[in-house]
Structure 1
Amino acid sequence: MSRTWFSQALETVAVWWRIERCDGITLGLTGHDRDLVFAGLRHRTAPGMVPSAVRRTATFEPDSAEVQGAMSHDAIGEADLAAGRFDGARVSMGLVDWETLEAETLFTGTIGSVGREGTTFSAELQSIKHMLARQIVPRTSPSCRAEFCGEGCTLSAARFTRDAEVVEVSADRQWVKIAGIADAASFDFGWLRAVDGADAGLLVRVQSVDEAWLVLERPLSDDATAGMQVILREGCDHTIATCADRFGNAVNFQGEPFLPGNDLLTRYPGAQG
């Protein structure tokens, strides 16, 4: 640490936040009354943003922090929070001298749960030590635990991803038809990502398929219309039959489909004939 903060009665110090969303957008915010530019990013003034005490330990116990603010700020709106644009975003928090722009990082982690109280929001920040709480040895399951085309699956994502155009949107904007799809069923359990419009960059899962319609897990934005460009990824139901018959990838199946379940232990022996 190059500086001892708050060592004097009067300090020119403000709090700053840096938010790196999963869609590639990076936001800088500060509690100062004007924008500050440092570390290659403009930190916009957000005097309504209030940090809680930052708790850091020398043990394996996760560090904790929380931030509260107004949803009316241009950078953080209610619609973006509800759409999940900030879910899993990487967050850094620290102090900055608004005269010399000397900055110190106090906390780094990711956004966990986000809550809403009236016109304000609160976000729980999880430190990197939170990753130590995950299960190292996976639990057994009859279905595949791997993300389709992800780690463990080994299938090529490019092979099952395509650019497409929406040709029809239902009245509730939760059902869409895609141009040029011969077998819509192959996109069951897949996902759709809008290229333009208010939903640009957001990933929406395909919940089910009804004939030529893709049923999404949530409605698209109000401006979703025919002609919008999207990226589509095929889906997988994570069963051994689909993995073997459709993809020929049973050797990489991340599950135990033939492992006897607990019901085997409760069976009574039958009478011998």
Structure 2
Amino acid sequence: MRWLQFRGTIGELHRVDGAFRAELRGLTEALNRPLGRVYQKPCTAVLGDKTCRFAVETDGYSHDLTVASHTRGQEFRWTDFLGFDEGWFARGRMEVLAGPAKGLWSVIKNDQTRSGERVIELWEPIRGSLEADTPIRLIAGCDKRLETCRLKFNNLVNFQGFPDLPAEDWVMSVPRSSSANSGGSRR
């Protein structure tokens, strides 16, 4: 004799104290899958991904150098860092190319010049060991705006945002005869 108690799939598996725990996902789990696109003003692509199609390895958009000094793997300083405008790498990535931390990366929070030194600050510290002269790569940052895509990267054809969407306060507007928001044509 059989008794059907559950129908669905097994999700994530976790090992706890020598046993395992399985997540059961019901038949409606497929409805939680996002479909379509998100319509928002900023670009939804990640710089260099298949929808952005920008080659971040292009000369001028990535820069290989070695670690001069750092504070807890989160703030890096150079005295001889030339050729890039301040803020060029903000919102970009820093990747470790060799050593014990090879393959690790973090997102760049700030790119500034302080007291004659170029300072790159990360959102999260690199969790591996970083010695002086460890090779790293800095990749230019993108703030997801239409102007940045057009002027900094010359990649407007692949912009994935909708900059002409009305702001949220537009939804709350109502026609008024006492001001320019009359609902009629503007002369």
TM-score by length of 2: 0.71
1:1-273 alignment runs, 5 A limit: 61-68=8-15, 133-159=32-58, 160-170=61-71, 172-177=72-77, 180-183=81-84, 184-211=86-113, 212-221=118-127, 223-270=129-176, 271-272=178-179
Amino acid at match of 1:240: L
Structure 2 equivalent of residue 41 of structure 1:
none
Supply the distance in 2 between the matched residues of 1:141 and 1:241 (Cα, whole angstroms).
15
Amino acid at match of 1:224: L
Structure having the higher strand fraction is: 1
Change (3 A) 1:158 1:133: farther
TM-score by length of 1: 0.51
The size of the alignment, in residue pairs, is 163
Supply the distance in 2 between the matched residues of 1:126 and 1:230 (Cα, whole angstroms).
42
Change (3 A) 1:123 1:188: farther
Change (3 A) 1:151 1:181: farther
SS state of the match for residue 111, structure 2? strand
Supply the distance in 2 between the matched residues of 1:124 and 1:252 (Cα, whole angstroms).
41
Amino acid at match of 2:95: R
- Structure 1: state its 5+ residue gaps: 1-55, 71-119
SS state of the match for residue 186, structure 1? coil
Deviations along 1:31-52, one digit per CA (max 9) or x if unpaired, are xxxxxxxxxxxxxxxxxxxxxx
Deviations along 1:108-147, one digit per CA (max 9) or x if unpaired, are xxxxxxxxxxxx9x998899xx888432211211100001
- Structure 2: state its 5+ residue gaps: 1-5, 181-187
Change (3 A) 1:165 1:64: same
**Higher RCO structure, 1 or 2 (CA under 8 Å, sep 6+):** 2
Supply the distance in 1 between the matched residues of 2:66 and 2:34 (Cα, whole angstroms).
40
**C-alpha contact (below 8 Å) 1:161/1:232 kept by paired residues:** yes
**C-alpha contact (below 8 Å) 1:199/1:221 kept by paired residues:** yes
